[in-house]
Chain A
Amino acid sequence: MIKIGIPRALLYYQYYPMWQTFFEELGAEVVVSPPTTQTVLSEGSSRVVAETCLPTKVFLGHVLSLVKKCDYIFIPAIRSVKSKTYNCSKFLGLPDMTKAVIPESPPILDIDIDVNKGKHELYQAIYKLGRRFTWNPFRVRRASIAAWQANLNYQQLLCNHSLTPPQAIERILDTPGVEPKTHSEYPIPMQATIAIIGHPYLLYDEHINYRLIHRLKQAQNKVLTPEMLTTEELESATARLVGRAKWTCEEEVVGAGGHYLRSGADGVIGITAFGCGPDSLMMDIVQRQAQTMTTPFMSLTLDEHTAEAGIVTRLEAFLDMIYRKKRKRICV
C-alpha cells in the first residue's frame, strides 16, 4: 500500500480529516508526523534563513521527520479557498520551498487550490492528484465527495460540540486510549471566559505556544476558539470590521476577534507569529477595535526565542486584570 505522509503543521489542523479520507478512499495509507518537539523545530530551522516565520520552520521540521517513513508527502499549495481572497506567499510556494530546502524528501504530491480560477480548474486539479492512484475518474470523484463530507462532519464537530481541532481529530480517528479532554477534567467553577484568536497552527501546537489552552483551563477559565463560531458569525464580524475579507485566513483572526470582543468573552488573546505579514495587518485591526471596546485584549507574539517566562507573566497579568475587574464589578 502506498504511504502518504502528512506533516502535522500549518493547514493540517484545518483539513486533515478531509485529506485523510481522500487518500484512504483511493487506497493509500496515511501517516501523520508526531506532535512538534524541540528537535522538530530546530531541524526545521536549520534548513532555512533566519527570517522565515516560525510556522514554516515547524512545517519543514515535520517534513523532515517524515523522510523515509512514507512514499510521498502531501503538500498542497492553497492559494485561495474563497473568491477574491488570497493566502500568504509562504503557503503558495510551500511545495517548491520544501523541494528546494529538503532535497532528500520523498516525492511531493502537490495540488494547486485556487477557487478564483473557477470550478473546472479545481476539479481538474483534484483529478490530477487522484490520477496518481487510479485511472478511474469515477473513483476520484467518489473519493473527493467522501472527503468533502468528512470535512463537513469535522466542521460540525468543531462548531457544534465546541471541540478544538486536535480533540475533534482524535474523536474522528477514535484513537484507543486517548480520550478527548473535556472541561470536566479541569476544576469546575469557571473564573472567566477567555477567547483565543489566531491561526489554528499557532493555537493548537502546544509546543510553540507553551500549552496556552492547557494553562488557561488549569487556571479555571473557559476557553473559546475561532472554530467554535459559525461561518455566518465569523463572516458578519469580519464584514463589520473590514468589509470584505482579503486574506484566506482572515475570518479566524479578524472575524473571531471582532465577534468575541463584542460578546461572549471576558477577555480576548490574539496569538501571532513574529514576522507574519498578514497577521501584523489583521491583528492590528483587532487591536484597534479593542481600543474602542471594554473587553480587554492582549496579543502574544511567538517565535523561536519566545521565553516561557514571557508568556507566563503576560498571561498571569492578563488574567489577574480580568479577575480583579470582575470582582470589582460584583462588589459595586
Chain B
Amino acid sequence: MKVYLGVDVGSVTTKIAGLDENDELVTHTYLPTQGKPIEMTQLGLKQIKQQLPEDVDICGVATTGSARYLAGVIIGADLVKNEITSHAVATLQYTPQVQTIIEIGGQDSKIIIIRDGIITDFGMNTVCAAGTGSFLDHQAARLDMNIEEFSQRALDSSTSVRIAGRCTVFAESDMIHKQQMGHRIEDIVYGLCQALVRNYLNNVGLGKDIKPPIVFQGGVAFNQGIVKALQEELDAEIIVLPHHEVMGAIGVALLAHEEMVNNNNGSKFRGFGISEVKYHTSSFECKACPNQCEIAQLSLDGQVLARWGGRCDRWERSPSS
C-alpha cells in the first residue's frame, strides 16, 4: 500500500495525515504539541505506524506548520510548505467551489480568499494571538469547564452579552465584570464567541472580500458557539468539513503526492525508526557580529543535522548536507 504523509506541527497541536494513492484519507492523528515539537512528531509517527498495515510504503512526506523546518529535518521531508498553501490545497480537494477559507488555530488565525480554484488573497493575524484557540482554552479553564462543555453551553444562550474582544486582556476583565453583575454563564460564553468572531473579522478579515461558500477549519471549528457566531455575523452558511482539524496535514500530504509525481527521485523519508531515536537540541549565541543571533541546532548521535536562527547564512545547513 502506497501512502503519502503530511505532517503539520503547529504551536498548539501536531497533526499527521496519511493519504493513499487516490488521495483518500487512510489515517490521521491529532496531538497536543505541549511545547515539544520533536517528541510529538515522533509520537504521532508511532501512532500512524500502528494504524497502517505492515506492508505500507511511504512514497512521500511533507511538513507544514510553524515547526515545519524542524519537523522536516527530523522526518526527512520531500517538501516543506507554508500553512496557507497547505490549507487551501486541502480545502479545494473537498470543496472545489470554495471562495473563502476561515482557519482558526491554537495561536494563529488566517483567512484565504479563493476565486476559480486559485488563491487570490490571504491574511494572517499579527503578533497578537487574541481570538485564537489558546485564549478560548484559557477562558474555559478559568470558568472551570472543558472546551466541549464550553462549546455546548454557548449554544444554550438566550440573550447575548456584549464583551470587548479587541484584546484578550480586556475581554477577560470584561467577562469577570459581567459574571459579577450576575449574567448567565451561557450568555457570557456566547458573548465571548461573538467577540472573537468580531475581532477576527475586523483584524484578519479586514478588507477581504468574504463570499460564500465559506469553509471554516482548524481546531476552533470544533466549537459550535464560534460556528454559530460566524454564521450570524456573515449571514451565510458556514461549512465545517469532517477532519477540519487536520486539513493542513491533508493539504501538505496532497502536495507531497504532487511533488513526488512531478520529480520522482524516491522519498527522503527517514523511516518510522526515527520515533525511537533521541534527538538533541541546543542553542548558542553567535559572536561573529553585533547581531548576536541565537542559533538553534538539532543533532543526532553527536552529528549536527541542522542549524537555524541566524540572520545570515553562516550557520544555515540544509537538511541534505
What is the interface of chain A, defined by CB distance below 8 A to chain B? 37-40, 207, 210-211, 287-288, 291, 296, 298, 301, 305-307, 309-310, 313-314, 316-318, 320-321, 324-325, 328
Closest residue of chain B to A316, judged by CB? B82
A38 and B290 contacting across the interface, CB-CB below 8 Å: yes
B159 interface contact, C-beta 8 A: no
B292 and A38 contacting across the interface, CB-CB below 8 Å: yes
B149 interface contact, C-beta 8 A: no
12 more contacts with CB within 8 A, not counting A38-B291, A310-B124, A325-B120, are: A38-B290, A38-B293, A39-B290, A39-B292, A40-B290, A210-B311, A287-B207, A307-B127, A318-B122, A321-B84, A321-B119, A324-B85
Residues from chain A with Cβ under 8 Å of B207 in the complex: 287-288, 291
Residues from chain B with Cβ under 8 Å of A40 in the complex: 290
Residues from chain B with Cβ under 8 Å of A301 in the complex: 126
0 or 1 for each of B98-130: is its CB under 8 Å from A? (1 = yes) = 000000000000000000011111101011000
Give the Cβ gap from A181 to chain B, nearest Cβ, in Å: 14
Given A210-B311, A291-B207, A296-B120, the answer on whether A321 and B291 have CB atoms closer than 8 Å is no
Given A37-B289, A39-B292, A301-B126, the answer on whether A321 and B120 have CB atoms closer than 8 Å is yes
**B:53-105 near A, CB below 8 Å:** 66, 81-85
Residues from chain B with Cβ under 8 Å of A37 in the complex: 289-291
What is the interface of chain B, defined by CB distance below 8 A to chain A? 66, 81-85, 117-122, 124, 126-127, 207, 209, 289-293, 311
Give the Cβ gap from B119 to chain A, nearest Cβ, in Å: 4
Give the Cβ gap from B213 to chain A, nearest Cβ, in Å: 20
Closest residue of chain B to A322, judged by CB? B119
Q: How far is the CA of A307 from the CA of B294 in the complex (A)?
A: 13
Q: How far is the CA of A207 from the CA of B291 in the complex (A)?
A: 9
24 A-B pairs with CB atoms under 8 Å apart are A37-B289, A38-B291, A38-B293, A39-B290, A39-B291, A40-B290, A207-B291, A291-B207, A291-B209, A296-B121, A301-B126, A309-B66, A310-B127, A313-B84, A316-B85, A317-B122, A320-B84, A320-B119, A321-B119, A321-B120, A324-B85, A324-B118, A325-B119, A328-B117
Q: How far is the CA of A325 from the CA of B120 in the complex (A)?
A: 8
Residues from chain B with Cβ under 8 Å of A211 in the complex: 311
Residues from chain B with Cβ under 8 Å of A288 in the complex: 207
Q: How far is the CA of A298 from the CA of B208 in the complex (A)?
A: 12
Residues from chain A with Cβ under 8 Å of B126 in the complex: 301, 310
Residues from chain B with Cβ under 8 Å of A314 in the complex: 124
Give the Cβ gap from B126 to chain A, nearest Cβ, in Å: 7
Residues from chain B with Cβ under 8 Å of A307 in the complex: 127
Give the Cβ gap from B46 to chain A, nearest Cβ, in Å: 27
Q: How far is the CA of A291 from the CA of B208 in the complex (A)?
A: 9
Residues from chain A with Cβ under 8 Å of B84 in the complex: 313, 316-317, 320-321
B85 and A320 contacting across the interface, CB-CB below 8 Å: yes
B82 and A317 contacting across the interface, CB-CB below 8 Å: yes
Give the Cβ gap from B200 to chain A, nearest Cβ, in Å: 17
Give the Cβ gap from A218 to chain B, nearest Cβ, in Å: 9
Given A38-B290, A38-B291, A39-B290, the answer on whether A321 and B85 have CB atoms closer than 8 Å is yes
Give the Cβ gap from B187 to chain A, nearest Cβ, in Å: 36
Give the Cβ gap from B112 to chain A, nearest Cβ, in Å: 9
Residues from chain A with Cβ under 8 Å of B82 in the complex: 313, 316-317, 320
CB-based closest 10 A-B pairs: A317-B84, A316-B82, A37-B290, A39-B290, A320-B85, A321-B119, A317-B82, A38-B291, A37-B291, A313-B82
Give the Cβ gap from A86 to chain B, nearest Cβ, in Å: 27
B311 and A321 contacting across the interface, CB-CB below 8 Å: no
Residues from chain A with Cβ under 8 Å of B209 in the complex: 291
Q: How far is the CA of A288 from the CA of B290 in the complex (A)?
A: 40
Q: How far is the CA of A100 from the CA of B271 in the complex (A)?
A: 62
A328 and B118 contacting across the interface, CB-CB below 8 Å: yes
Q: How far is the CA of A139 from the CA of B85 in the complex (A)?
A: 61
Q: How far is the CA of A310 from the CA of B108 in the complex (A)?
A: 11
Q: How far is the CA of A331 from the CA of B290 in the complex (A)?
A: 49
Residues from chain B with Cβ under 8 Å of A316 in the complex: 81-82, 84-85
